[in-house]
Amino acid sequence: MVAEDSRIYDFIARWAAEKPDEEAIAFGERRVTWAQLDDRVRRAAGALRASGVGPGERFAVVDKNHLACLELTLAASLIGAVNTVVNFRLAAEELVHVLNDSTARVVVVGSEFAGIVDEVRDRLPHLREVILLGGEDDEYEERLAAADAVTEARESDPDECFLQLYTSGTTGWPKGAMLTQRSMMAHTRALTPAYRMDADSINVVAMPLFHVGGTSWALGGLSAGARTVLVREIVPGPLLDLIENTRATHAFFVPAVIHALLEEGERARTATASLDVLGYGGSPMPAPLMERVLRSVPTPLYSVYGMTEMSGVFCVLGPEEHRDEQRTHLRASAGRPLPGNEVRVVEPATGDDVERGELGEFWVRSQQRMSGYWNLPEATAETITPDGWLRTGDAGREDDDGYLYIEDRVKDMIITGGENVYPAEVERVVLEFPGVAEVAVIGAPDEKWGEAVTAYVVCEQGESVDDQALLDFTRSRLAHYKCPKSVSTVAALPRNATGKILKRLLRSG
């Protein structure tokens, strides 16, 4: 239970007092007790202050999963600063946008990404300092050793942002979702009982920390006093070894990762035998993969329906429902809302509730909701209603038993391998390629990735486009998961009478 805690940092101090010598986090060969974690977080907070990062000011982390990123998020909670965890897969242009948009004054960068930051540093006017993390020239550990530990937590407003995660944007650039002490504490209170996490749990954190599926999952386990096993990057064989060797009880993956684990054959069954919870989410699980999982792995399955703007999960489908042979249709459901979360199904144009069973947009309201998008008041107003409902952009229906079913995405978002991609981001780049007059990007069904980014282009008169050259062009400007898997040249894009492109006709072939 975390009811007495008012900020994310508080549960670290509490567990450090209750069981100081027990292991809190395992990361590679490193083992950190609760007392050591508390000390490291306080020193990280001191190091941030020494670098001039004050309340409300942003710093950034650019790296694969690392213990330091969690420490810095907790340190931000302690002193009122804001950790901007950046997607390390971003192309240079996107990285420049995120770092400039966040106004990050300090960047902690993993050694393998230091060159990318160096290349664009002269385009980052807010940046004052770069701290190298990992490798032979690591500076982070030196900073912690030299820092004065913060002994008194700053009095903070529960609605202060301490974590800023960037989501793909309909305008073509990522938006910074501001997650607060209140929103993340509400999420941990909902998450831990839903997934039966407690102080005896061993929680594998493998998804990237720049996602709520990474950071929020980690904070949920830490709040429960669980031992956290942090995975730097996902490699199926070693990941199965780690689950088996640590006797892990909890893990969360996107369906594409589960697909990769199942490709390891019988090893997937034996290595995951200790798991009490195998959570999945980030994208729908294709029906063939669902059937394969249910046949191959006896581990209790829990689905997640959530989003960055809600600090993580707000709807769950439990293991009994996954294996209910009398209601197999539930496997296509997103589950039911967690306690503390209200969900409506709404006609987007009017804001009126639709009849149960009819299609509408999911609106959700709870204390888990972000405070808004950083420096984007119009986008915030478009997403959050005056009475606090968050428009998810997901279209679906609710059945008579309260289960939600996602049927489409109001804003055409593509989910590929658990990553969110908005077509506008990709279309912006494709239109820069010589010879392209028009483009429409959709998600085509894909058994492995859920959806594959697919581009339909119309060439300028008298011009042609080399498909591979266009793909290479996008890969130099976008994170690879956002790039089209295929390109089709068409004479014209389907449009309605008002000229709007009819992407549903492209999806239907």
pLDDT, greater one: 360 or 319: 319
Are 16 and 103 part of one and the same domain?
yes
Query: Which neighbouring-strand residues pair with 508?
Result: none
Are 95 and 49 part of one and the same domain?
yes
% of the chain exceeding 70 in pLDDT = 96
How much is the pLDDT for 278? Answer: 97
Are 141 and 29 part of one and the same domain?
yes
Q: Rounded CA gap, 332 and 284, in Å?
A: 8
Kindly report the pTM of this predicted structure.
0.85
| Beta pairing, strands 312-317 & 82-86 | unpaired
Domain boundary among 133, 151, 179: 179
- The token pair at 435 is 């010879």
CA distances from 271 to 4, 246, 363 (A): 37, 10, 39
What distance lies between CA 253 and its chain's CA centroid? Answer: 11
The answer on pLDDT for 255 being more than 70 is: yes
Report yes or no on 485 lying in a domain: yes
Supply the range of the domain harboring residue 341.
304-409
Q: Rounded CA gap, 502 and 496, in Å?
A: 7
Are 44 and 159 part of one and the same domain?
yes
In whole numbers, what is the pLDDT of the chain averaged over residues? 93
How much is the pLDDT for 152? Answer: 85
Q: Per mean pLDDT, which of 152-161, 361-370, 488-497 is the most reliable?
A: 361-370
Q: Rounded CA gap, 69 and 49, in Å?
A: 16
Q: How many domains does the chain have?
A: 3
How much is the pLDDT for 256? Answer: 87
Domain boundary among 161, 179, 197: 179
Q: List, for residues 13-51, the tens digit of each pLDDT value.
A: 999 999 999 999 999 999 999 999 999 999 999 999 999
pLDDT, greater one: 272 or 285: 272
Q: Rounded CA gap, 161 and 274, in Å?
A: 36
CATH number of residue 457's parent domain: 3.30.300.30
The predicted model gives 210-232 an average pLDDT of 97
Q: Rounded CA gap, 191 and 214, in Å?
A: 13
Q: Rounded CA gap, 162 and 311, in Å?
A: 12
Q: Quick one: pLDDT band at residue 408, thresholds 50, 70, 90?
A: low
Q: List, for residues 90-113, the tens digit of each pLDDT value.
A: 989 999 999 999 999 999 999 999
CATH number of residue 83's parent domain: 3.40.50.980
Q: Are 51 and 106 in contact (CB under 8 A)?
A: yes
Query: Which neighbouring-strand residues pair with 461?
Result: none
Report yes or no on 236 lying in a domain: no
Are 21 and 169 part of one and the same domain?
yes
Are 449 and 401 part of one and the same domain?
no
The answer on pLDDT for 4 being more than 60 is: no
Domain boundary among 360, 383, 409: 409
What distance lies between CA 334 and its chain's CA centroid? Answer: 17
How much is the pLDDT for 415? Answer: 85
- The token pair at 496 is 């309605």
pLDDT, greater one: 449 or 384: 384
The predicted model gives 451-463 an average pLDDT of 93
Are 455 and 353 part of one and the same domain?
no
Are 444 and 384 part of one and the same domain?
no
Are 87 and 31 part of one and the same domain?
yes
Are 169 and 56 part of one and the same domain?
yes
Are 447 and 352 part of one and the same domain?
no
SS3 109: strand
SS3 278: strand
Q: Quick one: pLDDT band at residue 505, thresholds 50, 70, 90?
A: confident
For 294, phi then psi, to 5°, come to: -65, -35
Question: DSSP states of 182-232 as a string?
Answer: HHHHHHHHHHHHHTT--TT-EEEE-S-TTSHHHHHHHHHHHHTTPEEEE-S
- The helices-and-strands tally (H runs, E runs) of the chain is 17, 26
The predicted model gives 327-342 an average pLDDT of 96
Q: Quick one: pLDDT band at residue 303, thresholds 50, 70, 90?
A: very high
For helices 255-262 and 236-246, give the axis angle rounded to 10 degrees. Answer: 90
The side-by-side arrangement of strands in the sheet containing 301-307 is 30-33, 23-27, 227-230, 202-205, 250-253, 277-280, 301-307, 312-317, 336-337
* Cβ neighbours for 506, distance < 8 A, ≥ 6 positions apart: 440, 442, 456, 493, 494
For 210, phi then psi, to 5°, come to: -80, -5
How much is the pLDDT for 413? Answer: 76
Are 423 and 472 part of one and the same domain?
yes
Q: Quick one: pLDDT band at residue 3, thresholds 50, 70, 90?
A: very low
Residue with tokens 């990285």: 95
Q: List, for residues 176-214, the tens digit of each pLDDT value.
A: 999 999 999 999 999 999 999 999 999 999 999 999 999
The answer on pLDDT for 370 being more than 90 is: yes
Q: List, for residues 371-404, the tens digit of each pLDDT value.
A: 999 999 999 999 999 999 999 998 889 999 999 9
How much is the pLDDT for 257? Answer: 93
Q: Quick one: pLDDT band at residue 360, thresholds 50, 70, 90?
A: confident
Q: Rounded CA gap, 228 and 389, in Å?
A: 33
